[in-house]
Amino acid sequence: MTATPAQRNLALLLEELDIPPGAYERAERRYQNLGEFFGSDRAQCARFSPHIYPQGSFRLGTVVRPLDGGEYDLDVGCRLREGVSKTAYTQQQLKRVVGQDVERYRAQRGIEEPLDEKRRCWRLAYQDELAFHMDVVPSIPEDAPRRQVLQERMQFSGMDAVVATRVAQHAGAITDNEDDNYDVISAEWRVSNSEGFALWFESRMRQAQLLLERQAAQVGVTIDDLPAQRWNSPLQAAIRLLKRHRDYMYRDNTDSQPISVIITTLAALAYRGETDVESALLGVLERMESFVRVAAPHVPNPVNPDEDFADKWDDPTYAHLYLEHNFRGWLLQAKAHFAALRSAGSETLLEAALRPFAVTPGRDRLIETVGAAVSAPAATVEPSGRPWANPCRSR
């Protein structure tokens, strides 16, 4: 079936946002290499049955090329599955034992950048084929009673019982150096479930099951054998487009931007199984705001409904960032800019419509996309003016 002009325009943008060939494979090799080290006799964590796994955008397949040649984020979980419990270890002790092994790994690999401690992780920055920083999040399995409570809450919130059961089994407890109980023995640790979130996200993508199966068959595998980051679903593509629009709109004010987990969660909730990117994007843009609650939790974590991804919206500490206002303003501008991109029918209009995404294809590529002859530049063309360039920011 012949693609529509709007579909060709969106395909061009996605092509320009694609990460370099092999980037997923290189990221996979990096966390596998870290996992091999943690499981070896060189690591003190080896006796705790460590499990190293990807999380975040690389796990979900929603990575976009960083603006201005910036670094890629590679989020990695480090789950110590045996020999560490809340009754024997503090969060501080768990974080320290993992950090010591990450430091050993850094020294062995000859990475010059010093290890950086963040609130919930250890950051390892290094560069070979690509510039990455790896955030290693220590955790232990959550106890059975807490997993059962999570499962019941997910089902009460409307999640399919089979999915909720699978998701709950991956719940863990992570360290947080701003927690009041960080340096004391306590049963109260922050719950986290990045693997469970990925399973939930996959269940949302599976609404387009027939499409996914056809795409998997083209590379000679079943959909269950293909890593989710390679499903190349319309939902994943729509989220990549939305994240890039957010990145450029808030390029000078990143503290005020809508965070990726909110965009990802709302888009996944709004997705209705559309089988092409244009329909998925339109549907997500139209429906995602309806999943924002008036009262807290504004954007509940689907795999831990008591957690609010938008908890900072009501926190006086962050009032100067106008976070909720900026989310709604971003969504309004995204609708306008994607409408302009979809309707761009000439080379100059398409060139202008791509500006809010920091994408500048060559003239030949633009002409090929719109199927038009070269036209004179139109310096005054803007998709919807420039109020979007100055979102509310801290004073």
Locate all alpha helices (DSSP H) within 257-371, ordered by sequence.
Answer: 260-270, 277-287, 323-343, 347-353, 363-370
What value does the mean pLDDT take over residues 268-284? 95
Distance CA 350, CA 348 (A): 5
If one compares 68 and 309, the residue with the highest pLDDT of the two is 309
Whole-model pTM?
0.90
Asked if 217 and 356 touch (Cβ cutoff 8 Å), the reply is: no
What is the structure's pLDDT at 77? 96
What is the structure's pLDDT at 377? 39
Place of tokens 């370099």: 20
Is the bond preceding residue 383 a cis peptide, omega within 30 degrees?
no
Asked if 45 and 101 touch (Cβ cutoff 8 Å), the reply is: yes
What is the structure's pLDDT at 196? 96
332 to 242, 327, 329, 388: CA distances (angstroms) = 12, 9, 5, 9
If one compares 345 and 321, the residue with the highest pLDDT of the two is 321
Cβ atoms within 10 Å, residue 177: 13
Q: Which of 325, 172, 174, 201 is nearest to 261 (CA)?
A: 201
pLDDT tens sequence across 91-146: 999 999 999 999 999 999 999 899 999 999 999 987 766 788 899 999 999 999 99
What is the structure's pLDDT at 5? 86
- Model confidence at 391, pLDDT cuts 50, 70, 90, reads low
What is the structure's pLDDT at 382? 36
What is the structure's pLDDT at 392? 56
What value does the mean pLDDT take over residues 180-193? 95
Report the range of poorest mean pLDDT among 66-70, 273-277, 315-319: 66-70
If one compares 230 and 297, the residue with the highest pLDDT of the two is 297
Is the per-residue pLDDT at 378 higher than 70?
Answer: no
Q: Which of 265, 285, 281 is nearest to 196 (CA)?
A: 265
Is the bond preceding residue 297 a cis peptide, omega within 30 degrees?
yes
| % of the chain residues with pLDDT over 70 | 93
DSSP string, 179-216: STTTTS--S--EEE-HHHHHHHHHHHHGGGHHHHHHHH
In three-state secondary structure terms, 336 is: helix
Asked if 200 and 163 touch (Cβ cutoff 8 Å), the reply is: yes
First to last CA, the chain: 52
Rounded to the nearest 10 degrees, the angle between the axes of helix 323-343 and helix 234-249 is 110
Rounded to the nearest 10 degrees, the angle between the axes of helix 91-109 and helix 23-38 is 110
Q: Which of 30, 31, 119 is nearest to 78 (CA)?
A: 31
Asked if 98 and 138 touch (Cβ cutoff 8 Å), the reply is: yes
Rounded to the nearest 10 degrees, the angle between the axes of helix 194-205 and helix 161-168 is 150
Is the per-residue pLDDT at 71 higher than 90?
Answer: no
Is the per-residue pLDDT at 39 higher than 80?
Answer: yes
What is the structure's pLDDT at 364? 85
Is the per-residue pLDDT at 3 higher than 90?
Answer: no
Is the per-residue pLDDT at 383 higher than 60?
Answer: no
What is the structure's pLDDT at 126? 76
Sign of the dihedral through C-alpha 249, 260, 315, 302: positive
pLDDT tens sequence across 194-250: 999 999 999 999 998 888 888 888 878 888 888 888 888 999 999 999 999 999 999
CA–chain centroid gap for 24, Å, is 14
| Strand segments (E) across the chain | 50-55, 72-80, 116-117, 122-127, 131-141, 172-174, 190-192, 300-301, 304-308
Rounded to the nearest 10 degrees, the angle between the axes of helix 260-270 and helix 234-249 is 140
If one compares 153 and 213, the residue with the highest pLDDT of the two is 153
Q: Which of 89, 62, 132 is nearest to 280 (CA)?
A: 62
Is the per-residue pLDDT at 320 higher than 90?
Answer: yes
Distance CA 129, CA 372 (A): 38
Neighbour-count burial of 373, counting CB atoms closer than 10 A to its CB (0-12 exposed, 13-18 middle, 19+ buried): exposed
